[in-house]
Amino acid sequence: MAKRSAKPSKSRAETRRLLAALETQHPGADTELRFTNPYELLAATILSAQCTDARVNEVTPRLFARYPDARALAAADLAELERLIQPTGFFRAKARSLVGMATEIVERHGGRVPGRLEDLVELPGVGRKTANVVLGHAFGVPGLPVDRHVLRVANRIGIAAGDDPVEVEAQLTAALPRERWTVSSDTLILHGRRVCKPRPLCDRCVVRRACDYFEEEWGAATPKASTKSPATAARRTPVRRTRRRVPRR
Protein backbone atom coordinates (compact mmCIF):
# COMPACT_ATOMS: atom_id res chain seq x y z
CA MET A 1 0.00 0.00 0.00
CA ALA A 2 1.29 3.45 -0.86
CA LYS A 3 2.62 5.43 2.07
CA ARG A 4 0.10 7.96 3.33
CA SER A 5 0.97 11.56 2.61
CA ALA A 6 1.88 13.71 5.58
CA LYS A 7 -0.64 16.26 4.34
CA PRO A 8 -4.32 15.92 5.26
CA SER A 9 -6.53 15.23 2.24
CA LYS A 10 -9.15 17.68 3.48
CA SER A 11 -8.79 21.44 3.21
CA ARG A 12 -8.98 23.60 6.31
CA ALA A 13 -12.47 24.73 5.30
CA GLU A 14 -13.58 21.11 4.89
CA THR A 15 -12.08 20.26 8.28
CA ARG A 16 -14.06 23.04 9.94
CA ARG A 17 -17.25 21.89 8.22
CA LEU A 18 -16.70 18.24 9.16
CA LEU A 19 -16.02 19.10 12.80
CA ALA A 20 -19.19 21.18 12.85
CA ALA A 21 -21.12 18.18 11.51
CA LEU A 22 -19.59 15.88 14.12
CA GLU A 23 -20.54 18.34 16.84
CA THR A 24 -24.17 17.90 15.80
CA GLN A 25 -23.77 14.16 16.38
CA HIS A 26 -22.10 14.65 19.77
CA PRO A 27 -23.58 17.87 21.17
CA GLY A 28 -22.03 19.15 24.37
CA ALA A 29 -18.93 16.99 24.05
CA ASP A 30 -16.76 17.40 27.12
CA THR A 31 -14.29 15.43 29.19
CA GLU A 32 -15.99 12.62 31.08
CA LEU A 33 -13.52 12.86 33.98
CA ARG A 34 -15.05 14.35 37.14
CA PHE A 35 -13.12 17.17 38.84
CA THR A 36 -13.64 20.42 40.71
CA ASN A 37 -10.28 22.13 40.22
CA PRO A 38 -7.06 21.90 38.12
CA TYR A 39 -5.32 19.66 40.69
CA GLU A 40 -8.10 17.08 40.54
CA LEU A 41 -8.24 17.10 36.76
CA LEU A 42 -4.48 16.73 36.49
CA ALA A 43 -4.47 13.75 38.85
CA ALA A 44 -7.50 12.18 37.13
CA THR A 45 -5.93 12.59 33.70
CA ILE A 46 -2.73 10.89 34.85
CA LEU A 47 -4.85 8.02 36.17
CA SER A 48 -6.78 7.78 32.88
CA ALA A 49 -3.80 6.40 30.96
CA GLN A 50 -4.74 2.91 29.74
CA CYS A 51 -7.95 3.14 31.78
CA THR A 52 -11.54 4.18 31.15
CA ASP A 53 -12.81 7.51 32.47
CA ALA A 54 -15.62 5.65 34.23
CA ARG A 55 -13.14 3.56 36.21
CA VAL A 56 -11.11 6.66 37.08
CA ASN A 57 -14.29 8.38 38.28
CA GLU A 58 -14.93 5.45 40.63
CA VAL A 59 -11.49 5.88 42.22
CA THR A 60 -11.04 9.64 42.44
CA PRO A 61 -13.65 10.52 45.12
CA ARG A 62 -11.72 8.51 47.72
CA LEU A 63 -8.39 9.72 46.34
CA PHE A 64 -9.34 13.39 46.57
CA ALA A 65 -10.89 12.93 50.01
CA ARG A 66 -7.61 11.42 51.26
CA TYR A 67 -5.34 13.84 49.34
CA PRO A 68 -7.33 17.05 48.74
CA ASP A 69 -4.44 19.06 47.28
CA ALA A 70 -0.92 18.82 45.92
CA ARG A 71 0.68 19.25 49.36
CA ALA A 72 -1.24 16.28 50.76
CA LEU A 73 -0.45 14.15 47.72
CA ALA A 74 3.24 15.05 47.83
CA ALA A 75 3.39 13.66 51.37
CA ALA A 76 1.45 10.48 50.54
CA ASP A 77 2.59 7.07 51.67
CA LEU A 78 3.33 5.30 48.39
CA ALA A 79 1.90 1.93 49.43
CA GLU A 80 -1.36 3.49 50.62
CA LEU A 81 -1.65 5.52 47.43
CA GLU A 82 -1.02 2.44 45.30
CA ARG A 83 -3.86 0.59 47.05
CA LEU A 84 -6.24 3.49 46.42
CA ILE A 85 -5.54 3.73 42.69
CA GLN A 86 -4.98 0.03 41.99
CA PRO A 87 -8.25 -0.36 39.98
CA THR A 88 -6.92 2.05 37.32
CA GLY A 89 -4.05 -0.27 36.38
CA PHE A 90 -0.31 0.44 36.20
CA PHE A 91 -0.81 1.65 39.77
CA ARG A 92 2.83 1.60 40.84
CA ALA A 93 3.99 3.81 37.96
CA LYS A 94 0.94 6.05 38.34
CA ALA A 95 1.53 6.42 42.10
CA ARG A 96 5.11 7.53 41.43
CA SER A 97 3.91 9.99 38.79
CA LEU A 98 1.25 11.42 41.12
CA VAL A 99 3.66 11.96 43.99
CA GLY A 100 6.33 13.31 41.65
CA MET A 101 3.85 15.66 40.01
CA ALA A 102 2.57 16.90 43.37
CA THR A 103 6.10 17.37 44.76
CA GLU A 104 7.11 19.48 41.77
CA ILE A 105 3.96 21.58 42.08
CA VAL A 106 4.69 22.23 45.75
CA GLU A 107 8.39 22.92 45.28
CA ARG A 108 8.29 24.93 42.05
CA HIS A 109 4.77 26.39 41.84
CA GLY A 110 3.79 27.10 45.44
CA GLY A 111 1.29 24.23 45.54
CA ARG A 112 -0.79 25.48 42.60
CA VAL A 113 -1.07 23.73 39.26
CA PRO A 114 0.61 25.95 36.66
CA GLY A 115 -1.56 27.23 33.82
CA ARG A 116 1.05 27.18 31.06
CA LEU A 117 1.77 24.31 28.69
CA GLU A 118 5.54 24.67 29.04
CA ASP A 119 5.29 24.35 32.85
CA LEU A 120 2.80 21.49 32.82
CA VAL A 121 4.86 19.27 30.50
CA GLU A 122 7.81 19.60 32.89
CA LEU A 123 5.84 17.80 35.63
CA PRO A 124 6.47 14.06 36.12
CA GLY A 125 3.89 11.92 34.33
CA VAL A 126 2.51 14.87 32.36
CA GLY A 127 2.83 14.80 28.58
CA ARG A 128 1.50 17.20 26.01
CA LYS A 129 -1.88 15.44 25.82
CA THR A 130 -2.45 15.61 29.58
CA ALA A 131 -1.28 19.23 29.67
CA ASN A 132 -3.74 20.18 26.93
CA VAL A 133 -6.59 18.41 28.72
CA VAL A 134 -5.89 20.43 31.87
CA LEU A 135 -5.43 23.71 30.01
CA GLY A 136 -8.62 23.33 28.01
CA HIS A 137 -10.93 22.07 30.73
CA ALA A 138 -9.59 23.52 33.98
CA PHE A 139 -8.09 26.82 32.84
CA GLY A 140 -10.20 27.68 29.80
CA VAL A 141 -7.04 27.96 27.71
CA PRO A 142 -7.66 26.40 24.28
CA GLY A 143 -5.76 23.17 23.78
CA LEU A 144 -6.25 20.23 21.43
CA PRO A 145 -5.30 16.96 23.17
CA VAL A 146 -4.52 14.21 20.67
CA ASP A 147 -5.12 10.74 22.05
CA ARG A 148 -5.51 7.43 20.21
CA HIS A 149 -9.13 8.20 19.33
CA VAL A 150 -8.28 11.58 17.81
CA LEU A 151 -5.42 10.00 15.84
CA ARG A 152 -7.60 7.20 14.50
CA VAL A 153 -10.68 9.28 13.64
CA ALA A 154 -8.82 12.25 12.15
CA ASN A 155 -6.67 9.99 9.96
CA ARG A 156 -9.65 7.99 8.75
CA ILE A 157 -11.67 11.05 7.81
CA GLY A 158 -8.66 12.73 6.20
CA ILE A 159 -8.56 15.86 8.33
CA ALA A 160 -5.12 14.80 9.57
CA ALA A 161 -2.34 12.58 8.31
CA GLY A 162 0.28 10.82 10.34
CA ASP A 163 0.97 8.88 13.51
CA ASP A 164 2.74 11.66 15.39
CA PRO A 165 0.35 13.29 17.92
CA VAL A 166 2.28 16.55 17.85
CA GLU A 167 2.06 16.68 14.06
CA VAL A 168 -1.65 15.86 14.07
CA GLU A 169 -2.24 18.49 16.75
CA ALA A 170 -0.48 21.04 14.54
CA GLN A 171 -2.58 20.06 11.50
CA LEU A 172 -5.87 20.31 13.39
CA THR A 173 -5.05 23.52 15.22
CA ALA A 174 -3.99 25.10 11.92
CA ALA A 175 -7.40 24.29 10.44
CA LEU A 176 -9.65 25.11 13.37
CA PRO A 177 -10.35 28.38 15.18
CA ARG A 178 -8.54 28.56 18.50
CA GLU A 179 -11.77 28.73 20.47
CA ARG A 180 -12.87 25.38 18.95
CA TRP A 181 -9.74 23.40 19.80
CA THR A 182 -10.89 21.91 23.09
CA VAL A 183 -14.40 21.01 21.97
CA SER A 184 -13.05 19.61 18.69
CA SER A 185 -10.77 17.23 20.59
CA ASP A 186 -13.64 16.22 22.89
CA THR A 187 -15.86 15.64 19.86
CA LEU A 188 -13.32 13.47 18.06
CA ILE A 189 -12.69 11.48 21.25
CA LEU A 190 -16.41 10.83 21.73
CA HIS A 191 -16.79 9.92 18.07
CA GLY A 192 -13.92 7.47 18.43
CA ARG A 193 -15.46 5.90 21.52
CA ARG A 194 -19.04 5.69 20.30
CA VAL A 195 -18.98 5.43 16.49
CA CYS A 196 -15.57 5.41 14.82
CA LYS A 197 -14.32 2.59 17.00
CA PRO A 198 -11.42 0.39 15.92
CA ARG A 199 -14.19 -1.49 14.12
CA PRO A 200 -16.14 1.53 12.92
CA LEU A 201 -19.94 1.84 12.88
CA CYS A 202 -19.98 3.82 9.62
CA ASP A 203 -23.72 3.38 9.18
CA ARG A 204 -24.21 5.60 12.25
CA CYS A 205 -21.72 8.27 11.20
CA VAL A 206 -22.83 11.72 10.10
CA VAL A 207 -19.66 12.44 8.10
CA ARG A 208 -19.34 9.11 6.32
CA ARG A 209 -19.99 10.54 2.88
CA ALA A 210 -16.95 12.79 3.22
CA CYS A 211 -14.74 10.26 4.99
CA ASP A 212 -11.65 8.91 3.21
CA TYR A 213 -11.90 5.55 4.96
CA PHE A 214 -15.55 5.17 3.99
CA GLU A 215 -14.74 6.20 0.42
CA GLU A 216 -11.99 3.58 0.24
CA GLU A 217 -14.37 0.93 1.53
CA TRP A 218 -17.29 1.82 -0.70
CA GLY A 219 -15.56 3.29 -3.78
CA ALA A 220 -16.79 5.80 -6.33
CA ALA A 221 -20.41 4.82 -5.80
CA THR A 222 -20.32 6.56 -2.41
CA PRO A 223 -22.68 9.54 -2.35
CA LYS A 224 -21.17 12.95 -1.76
CA ALA A 225 -20.76 14.50 1.66
CA SER A 226 -23.84 15.22 3.64
CA THR A 227 -24.65 16.76 6.97
CA LYS A 228 -27.96 14.94 7.31
CA SER A 229 -28.94 13.86 10.79
CA PRO A 230 -27.39 10.63 12.06
CA ALA A 231 -30.83 9.01 12.01
CA THR A 232 -31.36 9.91 8.36
CA ALA A 233 -27.83 8.90 7.51
CA ALA A 234 -28.27 5.54 9.19
CA ARG A 235 -31.38 4.80 7.15
CA ARG A 236 -29.63 5.51 3.85
CA THR A 237 -26.44 3.54 4.31
CA PRO A 238 -26.07 -0.21 4.60
CA VAL A 239 -23.86 -1.75 7.27
CA ARG A 240 -20.57 -3.17 6.16
CA ARG A 241 -17.76 -4.27 8.41
CA THR A 242 -14.80 -5.42 6.40
CA ARG A 243 -11.07 -4.92 6.21
CA ARG A 244 -9.58 -1.67 7.41
CA ARG A 245 -7.23 0.57 5.47
CA VAL A 246 -5.92 2.62 8.37
CA PRO A 247 -4.20 0.90 11.29
CA ARG A 248 -6.34 0.44 14.38
CA ARG A 249 -5.29 2.28 17.52
212 is catalytic: no
- Please, are residues 162 and 247 in contact by the beta-carbon 8 Å criterion? no
Residue 215 Cβ, how far from ligand SF4 at the closest point, in Å? 9
200 to 219, contacts with ligand SF4 by CB under 6 A? 200-202, 205, 207-208, 211, 213-214
Distance CA 130, CA 152 (A): 18
Look at residues 181, 182, 228, 183 and name the one whose alpha carbon lies nearest to residue 205: 228
Distance CA 162, CA 112 (A): 35
Q: What angle do CA 52, 18, 197 make, to 5 degrees?
A: 30
Could you say which of 10, 94, 129, 212 is catalytic?
129
Q: Using the minimum distance from each CB to ligand SF4, give the nearer residue, 97 or 184.
A: 184
Reduced to 3 states (helix: H, G, I; strand: E, B; else coil), residue 227 is coil
141 to 200, contacts with ligand SF4 by CB under 6 A? 153, 156-157, 195-196, 200
Q: Which residues contact 64 (CB under 8 A, 6 or more apart)?
A: 40, 43
Q: Using the minimum distance from each CB to ligand SF4, give the nearer residue, 33 or 183.
A: 183
Could you say which of 94, 147, 203, 212 is catalytic?
147
129 is catalytic: yes
Q: Does 35 bind ligand SF4 (CB under 6 A)?
A: no
- Please, are residues 68 and 78 in contact by the beta-carbon 8 Å criterion? no
Residue 41 Cβ, how far from ligand SF4 at the closest point, in Å? 28
- Residues annotated as catalytic are 129, 147
The residues that touch ligand SF4, with contacts defined as CB under 6 A, are 153, 156-157, 195-196, 200-202, 205, 207-208, 211, 213-214
